Amino acid sequence: MKQPFLVALALAILLGGAPTRAAPIPPHIEIKYRLSMGSMKIGEGLDVFEHDSKNYTVVSESKTVGLAAILYQLNLRREAKGRITREGLRPRSFVESRNGKTTRSALFDWEANEIELSDGSEAKQTVPLPPNTWDATSFAWNFAFFQPGNKDLNINLTDGRRVTSYRYAIVGRETLKTVLGDFVTLHVKKVLEGDDKREFDVWLATERSYLPVRIRYTEKDGTAFDSVVEAINVLPH
């Protein structure tokens, strides 16, 4: 069982910032996902986002289930914290653990424009921190505070190993059928460059604060893993 399919649950869309301010979201929101390979369910995930209009915390947890759990047992947890700005979310910290063991982390120093990265047993490294950089978990929620525009998106993303630049294209609006009903979504697709063959497609619910309701990750061999929303729970206080 390949690990990258669970990255899709946590990454929830490698997208980018944009010029339009989104409507405020409630201080506590939870999204439950079903992860499938073809018609077979292989995993499930839960994202919990909390904020007080100034600071935020997001915890993303996913695990294999059923036959997939027998073949490959994986519990992935990512926690990110940061500030809410006029330009969207600005992360301060990111920690990832697999099966209870911390594997990666990132500390953002925006005053010094540096980021400290830690990848497993390897030594920590400090590298330049470009503008518009997010961790893999915070970025999925950025659109609830700052919506995408109509042009290609250029962003920087880190998972604790490195900071990588990506470009995404706005495909357009599409209707997505789910167990919760139909969602009007904005489809955003990763632009493949060079020898990169790993694809990401994301569908954002335009009438639900641009929350991610579908995420599709395709491996370079063509194997696709689909993460689709099963439940959205909102607490006003």
Q: What is the pLDDT of residue 34?
A: 94
Q: What is the pLDDT of residue 9?
A: 36
Tell me, which fold does domain 4-235 have in CATH? outer membrane lipoprotein receptor (LolB), chain A (2.50.20)
Q: What is the pLDDT of residue 134?
A: 92
* Token representation of residue 18: 């944009």
Give the start-to-end residue ranges of the domains of the chain. Answer: 4-235
Contacts with 111 (C-beta within 8 Å, 6 or more apart), sequence order: none
Q: What is the pLDDT along the chain (237 residues), one digit of tens a residue?
A: 444 433 433 333 333 333 344 456 889 999 999 989 888 899 999 999 999 999 999 999 989 898 888 888 888 999 999 999 988 999 999 999 999 888 899 999 999 999 999 987 667 899 999 998 999 889 878 888 887 777 788 889 999 999 999 888 889 999 999 999 999 999 988 888 888 888 888 899 999 989 989 988 888 888 888 889 999 999 866
**This model's pTM is above 0.75:** yes
